[in-house]
Structure 1
Amino acid sequence: MQLREPAHLVSPRAIRMWTVEAVLGALFLGAAQLGWWFLDDAPDRTLHVVVGALWLLLSAAYAIGMPRWRYRVHRWEATPHAIYTQTGWFNQERRIAPLSRVQTVDLERGPLAQLFGLATVTVTTASAAGALEIVGLEVGVARELVDTLTSAAVAEKGDAT
């Protein structure tokens, strides 16, 4: 039997958020590259130009490709008995957590998520594998999911251990 993909994609706005995160990371690395340029007193700048060109090319490819790839992969689904996630972009992971194992359900909105009207739902379970995270949900969907999972987990007869 093959495990099917979860039913729901994250918000399409997650693509823009992940793109901005990638660009901000690239700018940070670009600042380091620029610092190296000014601190290095070597007369030949060929290495700087080559590294800078590679950095620019790889940063652009990452900022364009990674968010779209992640959007195609990231999925989630909540059933009356379990929460099911699929995440990653290079390393992809599918996880199912029975509601009887849910310990906490959290909603988080960092500055970029707030800018794009998005949120992350984190479901902590009694599992050594760690929490399940659903990144890039619209705020309304995230709040509804938190309410649904909290109510369902409270109603479960399991002991979350």
Structure 2
Amino acid sequence: MTETRTVRLRPPRNPVERRAVTWWATRALAVTAAAAAVLAVLALLIGPLRPWLVAALVLVVVGGVAYAVAVPRIRYQVHRWEVTLEAVYARRGWFFQQWRIAPMSRIQTVDTVRGPLEQRFRLSTVTVTTASAKGPVRIDGLDHERAEELVRKLTAVTQATDGDAT
């Protein structure tokens, strides 16, 4: 008879790096600036639509700045992650909350991504891929050195864990 172990589910404990707030805000402002630039050029080129395009420009700028100020702070409050010997836990979302758990025996790959803005803020995203149809478990906003350490730990633990990763 095989022994089954009960794993107590609880929210993950670790917050993302505080610098992630600035990274998320900068990303939001970059998208806002790009959209505003397109609308501004169109407003200059298309005279008959200028009032509508200027109104859209104002809405995009006000909405984008409000988003960049509020949402990254809220994301920081709700994004959590943790790695135990049994699983990788990640929680994200505000309106649509998502709590993902990847058992160590199901992990297939562990990846680190550092886009240009993440590099600027010394951050990384760790992606843990399983055979789940729901897709990978992502942990955004980790300090790049901590992310490297996490990837090494996950690689060692998954290699030592029995299972077929499917």
Question: What is the Cα deviation at residue 60 of structure 1?
Answer: 1.0
Amino acid at match of 1:94: W
Deviations, residues 9-38 of structure 1 (Å, cap 9, x unaligned): 000000000111001000110011112202
The answer as to 2:112 corresponding to 1:112 is: no
User: CA 1:57/1:3 → structure 2, altered by over 3 Å: closer, same or farther?
Assistant: farther
Q: 1:79 aligns with which of 77, 80, 84?
A: 84
The answer as to 2:11 corresponding to 1:24 is: no
Q: Mean alpha-carbon deviation: is it higher for 49-58 or for 109-118?
A: 49-58
The answer as to 2:63 corresponding to 1:58 is: yes
The question of whether the paired residues in 2 share the 8 Å contact of 1:117 and 1:138 is answered with yes
The TM-score normalised by the length of structure 2 is 0.90
Aligned residues: 159
1:6 corresponds to which residue? 12
- What RMSD, in angstroms, separates the aligned Cα atoms of the two structures? 1.6
Amino acid at match of 2:100: R
Q: Mean alpha-carbon deviation: is it higher for 114-123 or for 51-60?
A: 51-60
- 1:135 counterpart SS class: strand
Question: What is the Cα deviation at residue 140 of structure 1?
Answer: 1.5
- 2:90 counterpart SS class: strand
Map 1:73-152; keep pairs closer than 5 Å.
73-152=78-157
Amino acid at match of 2:125: T
The question of whether the paired residues in 2 share the 8 Å contact of 1:66 and 1:89 is answered with no
Runs of 4+ in 1 over 4 A off after TM superposition: none
The question of whether the paired residues in 2 share the 8 Å contact of 1:83 and 1:97 is answered with yes
Alpha-carbon separation, structure 1, partners of 2:89 and 2:165: 17
Alpha-carbon separation, structure 2, partners of 1:49 and 1:118: 36
The question of whether the paired residues in 2 share the 8 Å contact of 1:108 and 1:119 is answered with yes
Say which structure, 1 or 2, has more relative contact order (CA 8 Å, 6+ apart).
Answer: 1
Question: What is the Cα deviation at residue 49 of structure 1?
Answer: 3.4
Alpha-carbon separation, structure 2, partners of 1:105 and 1:46: 50
Structure 1: tracts of 5 or more residues without a match:
none
The TM-score normalised by the length of structure 1 is 0.92
Q: Mean alpha-carbon deviation: is it higher for 99-108 or for 46-55?
A: 46-55
Alpha-carbon separation, structure 2, partners of 1:3 and 1:154: 23
The question of whether the paired residues in 1 share the 8 Å contact of 2:111 and 2:127 is answered with yes
Identity %: 46
